[in-house]
Amino acid sequence: MVDDFSQTELDLLEVTESTNPEKRLKLIENITRYEFNAWYGSKYNNRWYTASDGAFLFMIVEIDDWNNPSFNLTVREFIVKKGETLHIPPGFAVGFKSLDNKAFLKCLIEGKYPENLDTYVYDKSRWYFETFM
DSSP codes joined into one string, 55-112: EEEEEEEE-S-SSS--SS--EEEEEEETT-EEEE-TTEEEEEEESSSS-EEEEEEESS
Mean pLDDT calculated for residue range 56-81: 94
pTM summary value: 0.77
Q: According to the per-residue pLDDT averaged within each range, which of 12-26, 35-49, 60-74 is highest?
A: 60-74
Mean pLDDT calculated for residue range 84-94: 95
Q: Which residue has the higher pLDDT, 112 or 130?
A: 112
**How many structural domains compose the chain?**
1
Mean pLDDT calculated for residue range 38-51: 92
Q: What is the CATH number of the domain that holds 72?
A: 2.60.120.10
Range of the domain at 100: 5-132
Distance (Å, whole) CA 83 – CA 53: 7
Distance (Å, whole) CA 13 – CA 39: 28
Q: According to the per-residue pLDDT averaged within each range, which of 22-26, 62-66, 125-129 is highest?
A: 62-66
